[in-house]
Structure 1
């Protein structure tokens, strides 16, 4: 989490050293345990997708870069498999919660420092641009906008990434409290920090993602303990509401985005999608080769999309990015992986009585929805979460905590009365 913050602080070389040490520690931990059982739980669409990333380097214009990117993706996947095998769901929740608290509290302190002490934008210690000064405001670590009308960036250096972290944190902090993983005051201070950061980051895509999270929470809690027919009736109603809502947003997007202070083209995303679709049309079957983030010094990505002097290195839609890089077969495997993981996480959330098992499906729904306008799920923590959930949810039910005598709704009502 917060990879940009680490790179801004210690540079790409330092970042590479940190990742190298982490990979060695991961391999030691993984192979000192029952690693064969861990890898047997990896779903086949994920295995096929990773294999395609590597095989695709054979027909890529940038074969060595593509092969290297595929190996990095595999290393990231190994780390996620290790997390899934070494920790149970409650321990992973606690690990996520503590890490997110560090990021959120650091973001609060960082923005206060920029607004009250330096009273000016702060540049990265190791900048990702040429020249003495940033060519555009987007290159600052933070612009120091805490007490202005503009968006804040937090310690992660990006408003959308900060909002992404805050969305996950909201779910994690809520489930921590519901599952009695943290004390009341820890939860109170966590929410007091994360809510202002979320609001001040002003991310429209995260707003829509949170609506999806709330809908998933309501439907999954309501469906627990009901007969199959009633559950499926709830699901049909939910999908119908989602479909109507999506149609209304598409139809009245100009008015809706105007109300929240955004442009109808979603801050240039429609321009990016048009360019990406043109490239897809050139290689729809095999794709251009895997890179995860676009590599700016190779074709076709060199100078591909530049908006307001800021180059873009992703399609701002994970599904388009996979299609662009891995072709239609890769897109099919990715959709299958997403769908299979969703169904398994949903069953876990609905069939278990503990609120603990709500957090995976709620986080998953949030990041998948957000990745209709971002590609974060394909890199770093986004990919770790996807692989972690896809592998962890395949564990046998015997590894879960015992079922309670009451459904989640009753337990949550009792918690609310405290």
Structure 2
């Protein structure tokens, strides 16, 4: 005879709210998003979309199961909500509303996944999950490159693998292009180094992972990855120096760093021709410069609202059909995330995109400079890599780039935000429920034993 009081709790809810399920969900999301190019190549775009849709529905169910521990006000950054809202509204003035709606659905779906991960995993657990996935994907990429270029001496066309590893590259792995592989290796290096510093994996695993990512970064032969790596490395040194200062001296140091950044950008602009020559990227930059100029010309037709959000765009659709180079050459993106946003969402969308990345970086940087654990440096340094690569590619607007951008913004929005004044549970400056200082044991462990 049962003596329970009230209706029985719905059986799946405890499972959806469990730490083990949260870890499995996070691993699956990272694997599906970072492996999307390979999934699409092998099983088709419909399969990829079905996987992501199922994960979104599952993620929403997880938030419902954890509704008692999640503050709706802290659910997502205001800038992210406004950007998604503006992109959704652009469907109404797009020349192809159904296509624009599909692009917006992909953008919003990945944002939902980032929000879920940001609320069900803490910082260290997120880094550990991403590190595990990237180790496998980079290992598979190297294995396929060796199989194609050395053992079989044949390309693997459907994966875009050219089999050039015997000539020391360029290689693409399962990420489609050498620039995409190069960007992933930079993110992987950041993640693996944070794992090493936090001792969340064995030293041998961490060192081997760093060597794997470094080797593939070199073999990718991507000029963009050199710039991203230099920018991220400089940011790492600056953040490390600030973290060593006393609280009273950090403010002056932050202002000095800001001025140094402005001066550095000016010097880089003045000597850009020399830098391009040193990177052996003259022809590539010439093509990009022509493309960027043409994108700006077309964007001036609708400078405020843009032509509507398409995401991964169709080169034959308006306005992209207008962006042609000499000889009728067309590109699937502007090769610059900022210009792609300007073209599709206009000046309003660009301001919102800059606010999303800029505020996320500022908040994350301040948190990382004040908290002792090095794991808090992962988000701002990842944002530095994302905002830098956005100057040369549009990775940040789709797939892994957009997922990481929104995830880092969600993390930053949970601290150093106006929301702290509204949350009576906040323990102090920079603390947020569900993030940061919960520790490894709060959700099933993120240490060496996972």
TM range (shorter): 0.7 to 0.9
Equivalent position of 1:348 in the other structure: 367
1:322 to 2:341 alignment: yes
1:102 to 2:121 alignment: no
Question: Structure 2: how far apart are the matches of 1:303 and 1:335?
Answer: 25
Q: 1:248 to 1:92 in 2, by over 3 A?
A: same
CA contact (8 A) 2:94 2:307 kept: yes
Deviation at 1:21, TM superposition (A): 2.6
Deviation string, structure 1 residues 307-334 (Cα, Å, up to 9, x no partner): 9997421111111111111111111111
Equivalent position of 1:2 in the other structure: 35
Q: 1:262 to 1:225 in 2, by over 3 A?
A: closer
Query: Match for 2:63 among 14, 30, 40?
Result: 30
Aligned residue runs from structure 1 range 105-120, under 5 A: 105-120=139-154
Equivalent position of 2:443 in the other structure: none
Equivalent position of 1:18 in the other structure: 51
Question: Structure 2: how far apart are the matches of 1:188 and 1:339?
Answer: 32
Using the TM superposition, name which of 57-66 and 181-190 deviates more.
Answer: 57-66
**Alpha-carbon RMSD:** 2.3
What are the ranges of 5 or more consecutive residues in structure 1 without an aligned counterpart? 125-139, 404-418
Aligned residue runs from structure 1 range 249-288, under 5 A: 249-263=268-282, 266=285, 268-288=287-307
Query: Match for 1:167 among 186, 190, 193?
Result: 186
Question: Structure 2: how far apart are the matches of 1:123 and 1:41?
Answer: 42
> How high is the TM-score relative to the length of structure 2?
0.81
Query: Match for 1:331 among 341, 350, 354?
Result: 350
Equivalent position of 1:239 in the other structure: 258
1:70 to 2:107 alignment: no
Deviation at 1:79, TM superposition (A): 0.9
Q: 1:194 to 1:222 in 2, by over 3 A?
A: same
What are the ranges of 5 or more consecutive residues in structure 2 without an aligned counterpart? 1-33, 415-425, 440-450
Deviation at 1:123, TM superposition (A): 0.9
1:179 to 2:198 alignment: yes
Question: Structure 1: how far apart are the matches of 2:243 and 2:197?
Answer: 16
1:53 to 2:72 alignment: no
Deviation at 1:305, TM superposition (A): 4.1
Equivalent position of 1:406 in the other structure: none
Equivalent position of 2:116 in the other structure: 82
Equivalent position of 2:157 in the other structure: 123
> How high is the TM-score relative to the length of structure 1?
0.87
After TM superposition, what 4+ stretches of structure 1 lie above 6 angstroms from structure 2?
A: 306-310
CA contact (8 A) 2:141 2:173 kept: yes
CA contact (8 A) 1:151 1:202 kept: yes
How many equivalent residue pairs?
A: 388
Q: 1:254 to 1:266 in 2, by over 3 A?
A: same
Question: Structure 2: how far apart are the matches of 1:267 and 1:14?
Answer: 38
Deviation string, structure 1 residues 241-295 (Cα, Å, up to 9, x no partner): 4333333333333332222221165262112101110111111011000011112
Using the TM superposition, name which of 168-177 and 58-67 deviates more.
Answer: 58-67
Deviation at 1:39, TM superposition (A): 6.2
Q: 1:380 to 1:238 in 2, by over 3 A?
A: same
Using the TM superposition, name which of 72-81 and 284-293 deviates more.
Answer: 72-81
Question: Structure 2: how far apart are the matches of 1:103 and 1:39?
Answer: 36
CA contact (8 A) 1:219 1:234 kept: no
Q: 1:80 to 1:402 in 2, by over 3 A?
A: closer
Question: Structure 2: how far apart are the matches of 1:286 and 1:99?
Answer: 38
